[in-house]
Structure 1
């Protein structure tokens, strides 16, 4: 499965728009699967660095345990509501799904203390960008998968 750089190389303009939406706010939402396979939603921060999408989990956090047990995740960028009368200004929203690959401990200090948490790198299976068309009359869903590349659908 691809790292973020694969999407940047395959569809640079699409990747830039997705990244801009993710970078528009600090707090994102991640969905993981609990041990009983029911969904769990958690707040999270993430970063695009060196062609990868990275995110962490604090030591002892349930989302880290979820991802170690079942690496599937769905990550939703910050959301902004369309303003009535200014729907055309709505930037849309972005989502990324895939599998979390452990990438080592997270530490904030150079000490012999235990790690502050663990880092994960995303193997991406799908990227979705939802926004309005130029006239703000139709919903546009753009999605990228490694198998199908970039697709675009418009809905009334």
Structure 2
């Protein structure tokens, strides 16, 4: 699995934009899997430190139980609405990171737990310069960087 540092080394421009978008808002959305396999969405904060993307969970949180049972997750940045044309291309877009949450150590005395991210995918979605096409750029572990434009 890849660390955030690995993503930065393999796709530095994409990683830089994803990080700026993720850092633009304090609160993000984390999707985890419930015991029955259905999705759960929770609010979360994350940070970049020492080449890792990290986040934590309070004791008793359902997302913590989800991650202990199945570490797969998807993280989505906060997002602003794109501006109206002709300035649509100035929209920063949004960012998504998927991977596995790896515990960073023993749970805290209060039962809280920290995680680092093993990254499997990073996606940045924005608009082209004309503001008339959606641009999706993504890095996948083992597959490298791709860019797709959609109308």
Q: TM-score with structure 2 length normalisation?
A: 0.95
Aligned with 2:122 (options 121, 127, 133): 127
The alignment partner of 1:31 has SS state of strand
Other-structure match for 1:137: 132
Q: Residue by residue, what CA displacement relative to the aligned partner does 1:15-38 show, whole Å, maximum 9, x if unpaired?
A: 111000000010000000011111
SS of the residue corresponding to residue 37 of structure 2 reads coil
Deviation track 1:88-128 (CA, whole Å, cap 9, x = no partner) reads: 22110000000000112575xxxxxx236100111011000
Aligned partner of 2:113 in structure 1 is: 118
User: Structure 1 stretches of 5 or more lacking a match?
Assistant: 108-113
| Cα RMSD for the two superposed structures | 1.2
Q: Is the 8 A contact 2:60 2:111 kept in 1?
A: no
Deviation at 1:152, TM superposition (A): 0.3
CA apart distance, 1:55: 0.4
The CA distance in 2 between the partners of 1:8 and 1:84, in whole Å, is: 32
Q: In the comparison of the two structures, how many residue pairs are matched?
A: 150
CA distance in 1, matches of 2:56, 2:106: 9
Specify the alignment match of 1:95 in structure 2.
96
The structure 1 segments of at least 4 consecutive aligned residues displaced by more than 3 Å after TM superposition are none
Gap regions ≥5 residues in structure 2: none
Question: Once the 2 structures are TM-superposed, how far is the Cα of residue 137 of structure 1 from its aligned partner?
Answer: 1.3
Relative contact order higher in (CA < 8 Å, ≥ 6 apart): 2
Distance in 2 of aligned mates of 1:106 and 1:77: 26
CA-CA distance at 1:84 after TM superposition: 2.1
Query: Does the aligned pair in 2 maintain the 1:140–1:153 contact within 8 Å?
Result: yes
